[in-house]
Structure 1
Amino acid sequence: MLSIRSTTIGCDGRSGATVPHTAVDSPEQRLALRVRAMRQEAKDVLSLELDDPTGAELPDWEPGAHIDLRFANGVERQYSLCSDPGDRTAWRIAVLAESPSRGGSRYVHQTLRVGDPVTASAPINHFALAPADDYVFVAGGIGITPILPMLQEATRRGVPWRLAYLGSAGERMAFLSSTQLAGGELLLVRGDVDDRLDLAAWIGAPSAETGVYACGPERMLDALEELSAGWPRGVLHVERFQAKTFGESQGAESFEVVASRSDLVVTVDRGCSILEMLENAGIGVPSSCLEGVCGTCETAVVDGAPEHRDSILTPDERESNETMMICVSRSLGDRLVLDI
């Protein structure tokens, strides 16, 4: 009979206040890279080329993937890979200068230089390009980054595609001269000179065999999710750079989490996260964003009903309850069993 240890440690290791979080990962999953090149792609947008200083090839990746990038100042952020997946000599990302900055974009634009070391995770993909008869892409601003290699892959597959690339002004739209934009139907919408795009009219009525992929600001993605209510299930795929806005949790005020592989039970109260409680009990869980955006803390669910509050899982994935993002999601009932 399995004996499960129990703990009631609070969010601060004592009473329930939130404590600072340190990203957790496995050393073998981390790559020591350097900045090979930097380029101004548009106003307030810098691209970085990252390579292995030893000359080793970088891991394979597929369109839609991102990496967790950690800088020398300790800041870690997630960035979409936007280069050619077939080029394993270097990876390219693009960084928008945000105001206010949480530390990542300011460091890149003001401090980082060619030759500087960075630490990267292996590629992670929660926005993979599934097979389809045709594709519709919508990119808003820096949201063009994960879309670029998708266009390239759709062209390689011989699948027709359309892209609406929306920006506040032409000077702020990165990669306009990229060859990755060739091969399909491109619509540029520059907010300073063009009329606002009617997304419903432009997209039309997609069939069940169409893949609609979108990345960009919250307002644009929310509008697309509303439109998709009348589309075939599973047609729309979105990637968010910012977490979705949720109301108050409708789940249990307090619940138990059984860590089935660690012989441990933790109690999670309101104001605490599953991730915090597991870490305070000594279980290191790979994690990064703490907002349900990056997917690093995705954990398999053995039993129980999660209250999904992430910005990654599709409706079908939520209904299956096979996994959850333990940095933000909670439990609808009084007990969850996780494979951890």
Structure 2
Amino acid sequence: MVAKTDSEQTKMQVIGKDVLAEGVVMVRFADPDGGCVPAWEPGSHIDVIIDESTVRQYSLCGDPADDTCLAVAVLREDSGRGGSRWVHDSLQIGDLVSIAGPRNNFTLESAPSYLFVAGGIGITPMLPMLRAADASGADWRLLYGGRTRASMAFAEDLVAEYPDRVELRPQDEYGHLDLAAALDALDEGTGVYCCGPEPLLQAIENECRGRSGVTLHVERFAAKERPADALDDTFEVELRQSGTTVAVDANETLLDAVLRSGIDVPFSCREGTCGTCETAVLEGIPDHRDSVLTEDEQAENNCMMICVSRSCTAKLTLDL
């Protein structure tokens, strides 16, 4: 089935491909006709459509003020599903690629101070964020970890540009990031932004739980681990706009049930990480399993990601 997105797909041309670090390349896309690229804000990502069934989300790491190109940095993951290998091995300068977006699920909110915590390729969305924070006059610092210095993209440039604000902590030299110490040093009202592998995100979520005065924002590359006690029961979904009620079987997703009913809805990752399939909930209580909404946003129960989330009630009513 062809993936759909909430924004029109655009053909872009690869105008640059450069090695940034061990296993990391930066790819730059531009309008093949010389036009402006779509506008975006720090924290945004684009969907790169590799083929009809393969879509990958990559954070934008360039300058939002530059309307001539979009830049992403991609880590090669040999044990992944193939998207990064395609970028590294097959994508060439001059190629035309369909993209969708940009879309932002990781918005930089106004705060008097910031702590940015990046693990590995999680540095990519942080770059425009910390530059925006610097331009605003806010106090900020970056705690950046990786396997080795050689694997940490942008590390040397960041230290050269912000020597008093950037703390590099390669794991082979320092071990795991000392999150507790970093959080203990924060002032009241600090915004904490973290992106990286799942163990880092779980660790910082645990460290921030119960702390007052800091607001945590995370972005995940992959879906959260499925809860051990999660049950996939059958339930009904009423699609209010279309006047249709559909049974969602225990062995199918809510998204697939909606598509089966003939309703055309946008979707992309099918993992609850991109936010494309966000849908308004009118009645019922969702069983949230996404990695996009914060705990507070999930508790509001007014929207859900229908690609992975299900229902806690026998029936849900959606604005579809």
1:60: Cα distance to partner? 1.2
CA distance in 2, matches of 1:146, 1:39: 18
- Per the alignment, residue 54 of structure 2 pairs with 75
> What do residues 112-149 of structure 1 show as CA deviations (whole Å, max 9, x unaligned)?
10000111112111100000010001000000000110
Partners of 1:48 and 1:32 in 2: how far apart?
15
Residue in 1 aligned with 2:38? 59
SS at match of 2:80: coil
What is the match of residue 335 of structure 1?
315
How far residue 326 of structure 1 moved from its aligned partner, in angstroms, is 0.2
Q: CA deviation at 1:238?
A: 0.3
Residue 305 of structure 2 corresponds to 325
Q: Equivalent residue for 1:211?
A: 191
Task: Percent identity, please.
Answer: 45
Q: Which residue of 1 aligns with 2:127?
A: 148
Q: TM-score, normalised by structure 2?
A: 0.95
Of 46-55 and 65-74, more deviation after overlay is shown by 65-74
CA contact (8 A) 2:189 2:213 kept: no
**Are positions 1:106 and 2:56 aligned together?**
no
User: Which stretch shifts more, 97-106 or 61-70?
Assistant: 97-106
Contact kept? 1:43, 1:172, Cα under 8 Å:
yes
Q: What runs of 5+ residues in structure 1 fail to find an aligned partner?
A: 1-20
Report Cα offsets for 1:188-221 as digits up to 9, x if no partner: 0112223433210122164551100000011011
Q: Considering Cα pairs closer than 8 Å and 6+ residues apart, tell me whether 1 or 2 has the greater RCO.
A: 1
TM-superposition CA deviations, 1:143-196 (whole Å, max 9, x none): 000011001100110101111110100110101243697346110011222343
1:197 is aligned, of 170, 177, 186, to 177
* Change in 2 beyond 3 A, CA 1:83/1:274: same
Corresponding residue for residue 116 of structure 2: 137
Give secondary structure in 1 for the equivalent of 2:125. helix
Return the offset for 1:25: 3.3
Question: 1:225: which partner in 2?
Answer: 205
Offset of 1:237 from its aligned partner? 0.3
1:182 aligns with 2:161: yes
Equivalent AA in structure 1 for residue 303 of structure 2: T
State the distance in 2 between where 1:175 and 1:58 align.
23
How many residue pairs align between the two structures? 319
Q: Which residue of 1 aligns with 2:136?
A: 157
Shift of 1:41: 0.3
Could you list the runs of 5+ residues in structure 2 that have no partner in the other structure?
none
Q: Structure 1 residue 64: deviation in Å? A: 0.5
- Contact 1:301/1:323 (<8 A) preserved: yes
Please provide the CA RMSD for this pair.
1.9
How far apart are residue 265 of structure 1 and its match? 1.0
Answering whether residue 13 of structure 2 is matched by residue 41 of structure 1, we say no
Contact kept? 1:151, 1:181, Cα under 8 Å = no
